[in-house]
Amino acid sequence: MSNDNITLSIGEARLSGWTRLRVTRGIERFPGDFELEMTELFPGQAQDVVASPGDKCVLQIGGESVITGYVDRVVPSISAESHDIRVTGRGKCQDLLDCAAVWPNGQMSNVNAYTMAKQLAAVYDIDVICDLEGLLMIPQINIIPGESTYEVVERTARYSALLVYEDRSGNMVLARAGTEVMASGVQEGINIEAATAERSMDQRFSHVTALLTGTNNMQDLTSITAPHFTATDPNVPRRRERVIFAEAGELGWEVGKQRALWEVAWRRGRAEVIHVTVDNWRDVEGNLWEPNKLIDVLIPSLKVSGDQAGTVPQRLMIAEVSYSLDESGTHAQLTLMPPEAFEPKPILLYPQYGDLVGTVPLR
């Protein structure tokens, strides 16, 4: 890791010499954030750190940007043994999370998740990246007073099965579950320092029922004859019911199915979460571990494999990655989940009128 120098750029200044680092990014963590710490190696070193809360900054590892955003806090401290300084910050998208969504009259018409997000994010001078076409058009969106831009986008993106996260450049990204595979994986006895398999049932339900809350049911006869949709999880061993509201609006009732199927898939994916700590920030080709990419995992001792014999790797999604540096060296903590947690089944949507059905694939 001799080439993975850590630098924090603020204006023309490039600050290095950090003794502790934590950078965390994820496809369900919005925005990315970092924490840096320096202990003086010689008198006055910590005072050379020119950083103030609110400064624009770019954090780089080995010359690659990992966070583009702002300094949140600067915390100098002293004791009899040392002088320290700690700097924390988050990506540019923090303004979309912290601040209220701003739009005239609080109502948007004839938009999809991307066009809506782009207009709302532009208020805070943030770009939105989305390379998908044919997203579901939404006749009307009402912004709840005090609701943040992220909250508006996230609840709307559910109906197009989109993930909402921040990239290294501080842009908001709308994307589906990734299909790109890292050049190497993680394997017991090779590069895994520690691992935990978290399997649970307490947040899963045998049946998730979505109730319609549309305002023009006469355009959709199904919403009158069957005003709900129930998605099932066959791997829940006993009866456990959950009811949610599907804010389908004028889209037609079938769009509520996607909300229920997403809920089941979301909970199923989080019922098997693998946490691993590896000894390197990069794969064998030198790529930093990246959220929304697939990785092959083989941990026979924890029954994490693609076969019962424990010889074939299981392909999982990197949901979150933390790069860390401390007295024990460099480490990467990866949170891994099944790809299905982010990829609901294709469903039927009503393009405009509830009784005109067309298949809309998720890919």
Q: CA distances (Å), 48 to each of 67, 88, 101, 288, in order? A: 22, 17, 38, 29
**Per-residue model confidence (pLDDT) at position 296:** 97
**Domain shared by 297 and 192, yes or no:** yes
Residues 67 and 142 in one domain: no
Kindly state whether residues 297 and 191 are assigned to the same domain: yes
d(CA 302, CA 296) in angstroms, rounded, equals 15
Indicate whether 119 and 218 sit together in one domain.
no
Residue 1 lies in a domain: no
Instruction: Quote the tokens at residue 13.
Output: 């200044």
Q: How high is the pLDDT of residue 45?
A: 57
313 contacts 296 by C-beta, under 8 angstroms: yes
167 and 77 within one domain: no
Per-residue pLDDT, 71: 97
pLDDT, average across residues 228-248 = 85
pLDDT digits (tens, 9 = 90+) for 67-94: 999 999 999 888 877 788 899 999 999 9
Which residues constitute the domain of residue 214? 207-269
The predicted-structure confidence for 115-160, as pLDDT tens digits, reads as follows 999 999 999 999 999 999 888 888 888 898 999 999 999 988 877 7
pLDDT of 332 > 80? The answer is: yes
Segment among 21-25, 32-36, 104-108, 119-123 with least mean pLDDT: 104-108
Q: Same domain, yes or no, for 139 and 250?
A: no
Do 294 and 192 lie in a common domain?
Answer: yes
Q: Is residue 358 a part of any domain in this protein?
A: no
Between 138 and 311, name the one with better pLDDT.
311
For position 155, what pLDDT does the model report?
Answer: 85
The model's confidence at residue 214, banded by pLDDT at 50, 70 and 90, is: low
Residue 360 located in a structural domain: no
In a domain, 42, yes or no: yes
Tell me, yes or no, whether 65 and 17 share the same domain: yes
Claim to verify: residue 69 and residue 117 sit in the same structural domain: no
pLDDT at 347 over 60: no
**How far apart are the C-alpha atoms of 153 and 164, rounded to whole Å?**
8
Whether pLDDT at 191 is above 60: yes
Residues 192 and 329 placed together within one structural domain of the fold: yes
Task: State yes or no: pLDDT of 5 exceeds 70.
Answer: yes
For residue 226, name the pLDDT band (cuts at 50, 70, 90).
low
Tokens of 120: 């709302």
Please report the DSSP string for 269-287 in residue order. HTTEEEEEEES-SB-TTSP
Q: Is-cis flag, bond preceding 31, omega within 30? A: yes
Q: Which residue has the tokens 């583009």?
A: 68
Q: Are residues 191 and 322 in the same domain?
A: yes
Residue 359 lies in a domain: no
Shared domain check, 314 and 190: yes
pLDDT > 90: percent of the chain: 58
For residue 293, being part of any structural domain is answered with: yes
DSSP symbol at 124: T
**Which pLDDT band, with edges at 50, 70 and 90, does 257 fall under?**
confident
The H or E element spanning position 88 is strand 83-91
Residue 105 has pLDDT above 60, yes or no: yes
- Provide mean pLDDT across the span 230-240: 92
Average pLDDT over residues 322-326: 96
Number of domains making up the chain: 4
